[in-house]
A and B are shown apart, each in its own frame.
Chain A
Amino acid sequence: MLELTQVEIYYGKVRALKGVSLRVPEKSIVALLGANGAGKSTALKSISGLIHPASGSIRFCGEAIDRDSPERIVRRGISHVPEGRDIFPYLTVSENLAMGAFTRPKSEACETVQRVFGHFPILHRRRKQMAGTLSGGEQQMLAIGRALMARPKLILMDEPSLGLAPIVVHQIFEIILEINRAGTTILLIEQNAHMALQIALHGYVLETGKVTIEGGATELLGNQYVRHTYLGMKV
């Protein structure tokens, strides 16, 4: 469904992504792993249009999207849940969700909101509260819910577990699985490699801007180098 081919991205003179190629098959969950500064967020930003690649191509459902504006890309069906959640702190939960449906027809929003509240009942309880007053876990749920409002075919998630308590992380990952089962493809960046590989189908490891290892999730879980470097296990 999503295909990056030899994508090169520069921040000024610094080469952040060096010929990165990856594929996300439809209806799957793909994990993108790597240390800080490896280029994971950059890869996501290039997909959602926040940055444009210097060379290489990004194709979504067969069409090239590497020159599209973020607006166009949302309309094509890709939603991006950015790192740090980035919810609108002075809008209510409902208004945040409404913003998620910005590109969708008005009539649809009602039904989608119900679905989102179905995934996240707590958001329904807090729907009139200012989003900035929610806890970290609730904000993460809001961010994901907001992305769902656009009825995307593909969701990009940047470190959903960051800064959250383990119980909450578990909840979030359950919901990610739910969303995937309902038919949405997911590309997931995670530092918590263990959890990510539990739910993902495929995985890619990025190191200093290059893909160094790729394969099925179970393969990666068994890979010595991955176990040592990213899963914190003694070899």
Chain B
Amino acid sequence: MLIHVVISGIATGCIYSLMALGLTLIYKATEHVNFAQGDMAMLSGFVAFTFFEWLKLPLPLVFCLTLLFSIGLGLAMEFLLVKPAIRGPHFNVFIITLGASIVLQSASGLIWSHDQFPFPSLFPDKNLVLGPVQTDAGSVGIIATTLVLMLILFLFFKYTKVGTSLRAVSQSHRAALLMGVSVRRSFALAWAISGLVSGIAAFLIAPVVFLSTQMGLVVINGFAAAIMGGWGSFPGAVIGGISLGVLENVAPYYFPPQIKGIIPFAVLVGVLVIRPTGIMGEKRQRRV
């Protein structure tokens, strides 16, 4: 029985990891924090919903079209929101993404209303028995999708020229410029990939929590996950996400049920107070 709970916890945790990965990616490449990461997923979800329910397109096609949209959304947000404020302090961009979050939520509310909508799952709705363990196809699907995506991202960053250039940009803008790398294009790419990640996340989140304009709040779990795992670290984002997911799912069995809502926030404050660098920690020292 507990294993079943842990597996759903891991599945939830994978979703948090995806959010955390998107956040970490943008932070590492551009040193900006994107508060609207979750709302990007929410909007992608609604666009998918429109393709599916109103245009009656088949799910695989909806998936591809939505991912194209998510990439475009990332690019658009970088162009409209980040590029104009690029010369100012990072604080400015953070506030801008805060504003973007509000805009995305209220615009979506105007277009689609604030109701909750059921969302089709990419995975069949049945139970799976893997040896002694009983779980469901949905959880397994989420975990598998996340693993595949992480593998692809890892290979991209480690072995491709563009991926390495993104890593280089995150370590020194000036040196990257002097290598002939366009830092501007790198920023756009980081946001595009982040958009893609949030688009995929939408397909994993929406079937479980139902599609609604409040879906973007999952970004806070993403932040908690990233900070717990070590802000600025990709493996940290994954470890933090999965830990948080498992923690959230297991806790209601030992503590009063109201605690579930507070967990990400309690974790956030707890980690920051006790060990701010999180599990994996960011290696960089602050240069005086």
Contacts and interface: CB of A to CB of B under 8 A. Distances in A.
> Which 5 residue pairs are nearest across A and B when measured between Cβ atoms?
A74-B180, A103-B180, A86-B175, A70-B177, A88-B171
A99 B174 contact: no
B172 A86 contact: yes
Nearest to A78: B178
Nearest to A143: B175
Contacts of B90: none
B101 interface: no
A70 B184 CA distance: 12
A193 interface: no
A52 interface: no
Interface of B: 161, 164-165, 167-168, 171-172, 174-182, 283
A102 B165 contact: yes
Contacts of B168: 88, 91, 95, 99
Contact of B164 (A50, A71, A82, A95): A95
A85 to B, nearest CB: 9
A139 B84 CA distance: 35
Given A50-B174, A91-B171, A95-B164, 8 more contacts: A48-B178, A70-B178, A71-B182, A88-B176, A91-B164, A100-B179, A150-B179, A150-B180
Interface string A19-62: 00000000000000000000000000000111000000000000
A184 interface: no
A49 B181 CA distance: 13
Interface string A95-106: 100111011001
Nearest to A131: B171
Contacts of A70: 177-178, 180
A99 B172 contact: no
A75 B182 CA distance: 12
Contact of A82 (B165, B171, B174): B174
A88 B167 contact: yes
A74 B171 CA distance: 19
Contacts of B167: 88, 90-91, 95
A95 B170 CA distance: 14
A203 to B, nearest CB: 24
Q: Is the interface of B mostly helix, strand, loop or mixed?
A: helix
Interface of A: 48-50, 69-71, 74-75, 79-80, 82, 86-91, 95, 98-100, 102-103, 106, 146, 150
B236 to A, nearest CB: 14
Contacts, number: 65
B161 A50 contact: no
A89 B167 CA distance: 10
Contacts of B182: 69, 71
B174 A86 contact: yes
A144 B32 CA distance: 31
B181 A71 contact: yes
Nearest to B170: A90
30 contacts: A49-B177, A70-B178, A71-B180, A71-B181, A74-B178, A75-B180, A79-B178, A80-B178, A86-B172, A86-B174, A86-B175, A87-B175, A88-B168, A88-B171, A88-B176, A89-B171, A90-B167, A90-B171, A91-B167, A91-B171, A95-B167, A95-B168, A98-B164, A99-B164, A99-B168, A99-B181, A102-B179, A102-B181, A103-B180, A150-B180
Nearest to B185: A71
B165 A99 contact: yes
A73 to B, nearest CB: 8
Most chain A CB within a 10 A radius of its CB, from B161, B165, B171, B182: B171
A49 B165 CA distance: 19
Nearest to A147: B178
Q: Tell me which of B165, B178, B180, B182 has the highest count of chain A C-beta atoms within 10 A of its own C-beta.
A: B178
Interface hub of A70, A80, A82 (most chain B Cβ within 10 A): A70
Contacts of B176: 88, 99
A99 B177 contact: no
A100 B165 CA distance: 10
Contacts of B178: 48, 50, 70, 74, 79-80, 82, 86
A151 to B, nearest CB: 12
Nearest to A103: B180
Residue from B164, B174, B179 having most chain A Cβ neighbours under 10 A: B179
Contacts of B179: 74, 99-100, 102-103, 146, 150
Nearest to B181: A102
